[in-house]
Structure 1
Amino acid sequence: MNFLDTILGEILKVFRQEGIEANSDDDLISRLDIRQGTYRELFKDRNEMVRQVVLYDMQEQEKKDQQMLQNAVNPVEEIFLVLQQGIKELRQLNPAYLADLQQHYPEVWQLVVEHLNTYNYHLDLDILNRGILQGYFRKDINLQLVRR
C-alpha cells in the first residue's frame, strides 16, 4: 500500500463514519497529520479528493468481493455472501455519506451509480449464470428480473 492509498483509506473511514461534509479540508489535514502542501499535491480540490476516495472505495470493494467469493462452495453460497456483505456494509455506513455524495458531488455520485450498474450487474449475472449451468437454479429463470 502506497502513501496515497493510505491517505485515501483514512479519508474513506472518516467519510463512512461521519459523512463527507462533516469535516472541512483543514479538519481532514489535521486528522491525517499531514502538511497542507502535501494535501494540495495529492488533491487539486475537494471534488477531486472525494472522487479519488470513492474510486478507491470501489476498487477495495471489488478486491473484497473477489476474496470473499473464492471461499464459496457454489453459486448459491456466493449469492448469500454478496447479500450478507452488502447488508453489513450498509449497516456500517453513515447515511450522511451517501446523502452528501448525492447532494454535493453529483458527478461522483454518478460514478457510483454507473459502477453499480456495471460491476455489480455483471457480478450478479455471472453468479446466476454459473448457478444455472451447474444446476443450482432453474434454466427458465428470468435473469433480469432476479437480478433486480
Structure 2
Amino acid sequence: MPDFTLPTASLEAAIPVFYRYGLHDAPDAVLATALHTSEPDLTAQFPSRELLVHHAILADMERQKREHVALYAQYPSAVERLYGLLQLGLRDLAAVPSNYYVDLQTGFPQTWDAVMNHLSSYSGPQLQQLLNDGIRSRLFRSDINIQLVTKILIEQLNVMLNPQVFPPDRYNMREVFRSIFLYYIRGICTDEGARIAAEHFARL
C-alpha cells in the first residue's frame, strides 16, 4: 500500500475530472493538476487507476459527511435538516454523468461495493434517524413507516433527475423540487412540522 501524502480532502478534487472525462479516460496530467501534484508523484502514490478512483471516492464520501455536519449546525429541526439533505443529495446527483455509475460498477467493483456500503451503513440510517428524531420532536407523524418513507425519498430524487421524466429544458428544476418534496414531506408532518416546512420552502 503506498504512503499517501496527498491530504484526503484534496483527493475529492479528482471527482469533477472523472465526471468530465470518465473514470478510465481521465488524463493523468489533468488529474495531477486538479490534485496540485505532479504526474510522477501521482503515479507513485497511486500506481493503478483503481487505487486512485477508490481513494478519491472515499474522500468524496467524507466531504459529504462534513457538509452534513455543517448542515445540522445550521438547521435545528428535523424537517429543515431533511430538506437540506435532499437538496445536497440532489445537487451531487445532478453533477453525475449518466454512464458514471455503470462504469463504476463494471470497472471498479471494489469501489462500487464501498459506495453501496456507504448507502446502506450511512445514508439510509441517517435518513431513518432523522425521521425518528422528527417523530420524537412531534414534527413528523408517529404512524409513518420509516423504512418505506426513506426508500420513497431516495427514489423521488432519482425520478426528479430522470431527464425522460422531467426534461430540464421544459421544467424549472427548482419548481420540480418544490412540487415533489414540499407536498410529500408536508404529508408526513404534523401541523407544527408542516409550519416549519412551509417557512423553510418560502426561503428557497
SS, match of residue 142 in structure 2: coil
Distance 1:117 1:130 in 2: 19
CA gap 1:77/1:34 in 2 versus in 1, 3 angstroms: closer
- Pairing of 1:101-140 with structure 2 (within 5 A): 101-140=104-143
1:59 aligns with 2:24: no
Q: Is the 8 A contact 1:18 1:97 kept in 2?
A: no
Shift of 1:25: 3.5
SS, match of residue 3 in structure 1: coil
Q: Which has the higher contact order (CA 8 A, sep 6+)?
A: 1
> Aligned AA for 2:74?
N
Q: Is the 8 A contact 1:11 1:53 kept in 2?
A: yes
Unaligned runs of 5+ in 1: none
> Aligned AA for 1:72?
Y
Distance 1:56 1:96 in 2: 21
Larger CA Rg, structure 1 vs 2: 2
**RMSD over equivalenced CA pairs, Å:** 2.2
TM-score (norm 2): 0.64
1:12 aligns with 2:15: yes
1:36 aligns with 2:53: no
Distance 1:128 1:33 in 2: 41
Residues 45-95 of structure 1, C-alpha deviations (whole Å, 9 max, x = no match):
111111100100101111111111221131111111111111111112223
> Aligned AA for 1:106?
P
Could you list the structure 1 runs, at least 4 aligned residues long, displaced by more than 6 angstroms after superposition: none
Higher helix content, 1 or 2: 1
Match of 1:88 in 2: 91
Distance 1:104 1:15 in 2: 13
Distance 1:47 1:25 in 2: 13
Partner residue of 2:75 out of 58, 72, 76 = 72
> Aligned AA for 1:122?
P
Match of 2:6 in 1: 3
SS, match of residue 13 in structure 2: helix
Distance 1:56 1:99 in 2: 20
| Deviating more after overlay: 7-16 vs 103-112 | 7-16
SS, match of residue 90 in structure 2: helix
Q: How many residues of Structure 1 are paired with residues of Structure 2 in the alignment?
A: 147
TM-score (norm 1): 0.85
